[in-house]
Amino acid sequence: MPVSEALRRLSEDPRFWTGESATTDDLDPRELRATFPVTGGYALVLDLDLATGERALGLRGPASSEPAQLGRAPAEGPYPAALRWWELDLCARVIALEDPTLPHPGLVVALLSPFAPATPEDDEATIGAMREAVGPDVGICLDINVNFKPSEAIRVGRALEPYDLFWLEIDNQDPHALAQLKSSVRAPICSGEQLQTIRQYRPFFELHAMDVVKVDVQWQGFSAAKKVADLAETFELNIAPHNYNGHLSTFQSLNLCASVSNVRIMESDPEQTPYRDELFTALPEIADGHMKIPTAPGWGTELNEKAAKKYEWTG
């Protein structure tokens, strides 16, 4: 199993991704090592130190017990470019095929992405190919997450101007830095998925540091998310629910969309575990790129406990 049960539990805690979960008292350090078999007996090995936030990435060969180090970095970075982005994407898909219990390649990508920073050159070639493939009528949303400081993100945004992005998504905890980016590129800026409650969003809104507001219902709860959407409305901003999880998350996000008037678009993740549909009593209804608002009681779907028991992970 590439990702230990302890590391999976940690990955479900938002504090793990923001560097706030620093206690390791009850965890065996071996549980914080993730070994990802790739091909031919080789494996990528990721070691995490929660006390310091340090990460190390190595490559272990078929005849080796310990990996050769590819890169090591403190919590705040910068991270060495040990992998190209397309290499990480390919490895993540291979790793996910090897372990069907992984929710989808996204967890592997999230854990290893600091060591595979995208470059403006990578983005331009990829986005150019996408635009040529889908034509001018399909919107392209590019999420560069936390991989760039504003100066590099500005380079990315300007390089991609010919391809007419639907938005450029980036996460930054400094509202002034994000406002600098927004004023320097033509593409609309989407941000906010790492923020919680109106107190964290307000400084960004007051600077008009983003064009579209990402709101994560699951991180902060429905009532807090609606308050953020209502506050965004007073600043003439539209929201986009951040929704990369299962169907319950989708139904909760749909209920938010139904309760406010300033929705730009809602995220949905089509690539998930093959048994996801079995886990819920009702599935999202999609037609022509639109998802129907649920009308059943509650969120509109319930957990199928019998199916959940069938796929229970016992460790």
pTM of the model: 0.65
Mapped to the 3 state alphabet, what secondary structure does the chain carry?
CCCCHHHHHHHCCHHHHHCCCCCCCCCCHHHHEEEEECCCCCEEEEEEECCCCEEEEEEECCCCCCCEEEEEECCCCCCCCCCCHHHHHHHHHHHHHHCCCCCCCHHHHHHHHHHCCCCHHHHHHHHHHHHHHHCCCCCCEEEEECCCCHHHHHHHHHHCHHHCCCEEEECCCCHHHHHHHHCCCCCCEEECCCCCHHHHHHHHHHCCCCCEEEECHHHHCHHHHHHHHHHHHHCCCEEEECCCCCHHHHHHHHHHHHHCCCECCCCCCCCCCCCHHHHECCCCCEECCEECCCCCCCCCCCECHHHHHHCCCCC
CA torsion 185-232-250-143 (nearest 10°) is: 10
- Confidence bin at 134 (pLDDT 50/70/90): confident
Amino acid sitting at position 238: N
Strand pairing class (212-215; 141-145): unpaired
- Confidence bin at 51 (pLDDT 50/70/90): confident
In this prediction, residue 181 carries a pLDDT of 94
- Which region among 114-118, 195-199, 206-210, 228-232 has the lowest average model confidence (pLDDT)? 114-118
Tell which wins on pLDDT, 92 or 294. Answer: 294
Per residue in 7-50, pLDDT tens? Answer: 777 777 766 766 565 455 566 666 788 888 887 788 888 888 87
Per residue in 154-189, pLDDT tens? Answer: 988 998 999 999 999 999 999 999 999 999 999 999
Altogether, the residues listed in the chain come to a count of 315
Residue with tokens 């990480």: 88
- Confidence bin at 238 (pLDDT 50/70/90): very high
Residues 6+ apart with CB under 8 A from 253: 217, 241, 243, 266, 267
Neighbours of 178 (CB within 10 A): 24
Residues 6+ apart with CB under 8 A from 283: 247, 277, 301
Per residue in 93-133, pLDDT tens? Answer: 777 777 766 655 667 777 887 787 666 666 677 788 888 88
CA distance 160 to 128: 8
